[in-house]
Every structure is written in structure tokens, then in C-alpha cells.
Copies of this chain bind each other. A is one copy, B any other.
Amino acid sequence: MLSRNELKRVHSLQLKKYREIHNQFLAEGTKLVLEILDSGFSISGIYATTGWIRETSLPPASASIPVTEISESEMARITALSSPGPVLAVVNIPAPSPFPVNTGDDLMLALDDIHDPGNLGTIIRIADWFGIHHIICSEYTVELYNPKVIQSTMGYFVRVNLHYTNLPGFFSSLDPSVRIFGTFVEGKPVYSAALSPAGIIVIGGESSGISAETASFVTDKISIPSYPVNRGRKDRAESLNASVATAIVCSEFRRRSV
């Protein structure tokens, strides 16, 4: 049973303003909540239906987390989802990980205004799969703790660090030896371009791609060839979705490294 105040407070975390005030965010669904319980994140409270509580064995380390049994109609009033699941967790936002990070010996992503929450979530999941630990996000990239982002990561954000900063400022602070890759129509085909095991891959935003200012820092312009390569622009898709492009480029970098 939820008090009126508690209901209001949990529900408020759907909005960025209240996530900032309370320094907390929402995570919903069994898979996501268990992934977070299993991580280093601290959960301030779990709200779940009777059935979920009966059927789910929580890890011993979570014994101190308050679990509130709520009805489906209460869940419907706090959820950020159109089809709510049986469990919702209120998670404490951790302190940001140290930044700037060491850019010399690792592959990283830089996101130049990714606005779509589903794209950011998918990119985080791709980063986790390919062992990329740091994502540098432009200031206008959608917030990690947006419920739609958290849901679409499937919980895999727990091992990936996001840093929000001014991208040109970040790039100008780097050692000039750091290679910065970006996809451009006129870039070298990624399949044959000279890649490196370390460096930064810039992903352009959904609407306008890589901004001119960011582009000026790119040292290696690459492209994803469509097939067959001689098709005209009218005869194929003009571009790939941002998360799809991320997947293909990361896969090619890692293919070269194994």
C-alpha cells in the first residue's frame, strides 16, 4: 500500500526536474531490476505486486532494501510504461565516474546530440557488448536517466559510464595523437580504412549527423558502404539509424582486434 505522498514522489521521477532534486531514477521490469540489484547501484526502494514478491528470490545483499507490496492499480499510477510490469525500483543516481578519462588505450564513443531515448539505450547495450566503457555525450544528448533510455538499455547501463560535456571542449583537451573517427558520406569505407584498437568513434545525431564544429576534430573520416556499392542515392536508403551505424562500426573495430 502506497501513501499518497510516496505515490506522488515516485511518479515525479518520470520528470528530469524531480530526478535532479531527488537524485534518483526509475527502473521497471524483472530483468532490469535484477540486473541493477546485481550491480553496484544502490536501490532506495522496490515496489512490486504480490505475485512478483512471492515468486522472486532477491539476492541476499538486497535484504536491507525496503520492498513495498502494491496493487496493479497503484503500479499503473507510478509507472512510466504504457504496459507496466510487476516491479519498479527507485534507484539512487551514483556519483559521476572520474572525467576526463584516459583516452590513450581504449575505444570510446562520443555522441553528438542523440535525442532519441531508444537510440541511446541501444547504443549503451552495443557499447557493453563490445567492451566500450566510456561514452562521451554532448550536452544536448538525451539524459541517461530518462525512463525510456533506462528501459531500452535492458539494464546494461550498469557497466558503461556516460559523461555529459561540451564535445568541442573535450576534443580540444585531448592529446593530438588520439584518433577521432566519424562517419561521413565521403569517408573511407570502414571495411578497408586503417582503424586502431584505441580512439574515439563519433556518432552523429538523428537529425543532422555530426555537427560542423565536431567534424573539425575528426581525424579519420569513415563510411559504411551500402550494397551494391554503385547504387545511386535514389535507389537505396539515404542513411542508417544512429544505433545501427554504431553497431556496424563498433563490430568492424572489434573484428580487427580479435
Contact = CB atoms under 8 A, between A and B. Distances in A.
A236 B126 contact: no
A241 B125 contact: yes
A240 interface: yes
A128 B237 contact: yes
B125 A237 contact: yes
A243 interface: yes
Given A251-B252, A254-B225, A254-B227, A237 B131 contact: no
A237 B154 contact: yes
Nearest to A123: B244
Contacts of A105: none
A194 to B, nearest CB: 16
Given A122-B241, A248-B247, A248-B248, A226 B129 contact: yes
Contact of A225 (B118, B225, B258): B258
A41 interface: no
Contacts of A234: 38
A236 B128 contact: yes
Interface bin, chain A: 35 or more
B251 A224 contact: yes
A110 to B, nearest CB: 19
Interface string A223-258: 011111101001111001101100110011011011
A240 B236 contact: no
A228 to B, nearest CB: 6
Contacts of A235: 159
Contacts of A229: 258
A15 B225 CA distance: 37
Interface string A153-179: 010100100000000000000000000
A52 interface: no
Interface of A: 38, 118, 122, 125-126, 128-131, 154, 156, 159, 189, 191, 224-229, 231, 234-237, 240-241, 243-244, 247-248, 251-252, 254-255, 257-258
Given A128-B237, A191-B258, A224-B251, 13 more contacts: A125-B237, A125-B241, A125-B244, A126-B240, A126-B244, A129-B226, A156-B237, A191-B255, A227-B254, A243-B244, A244-B244, A251-B251, A252-B255
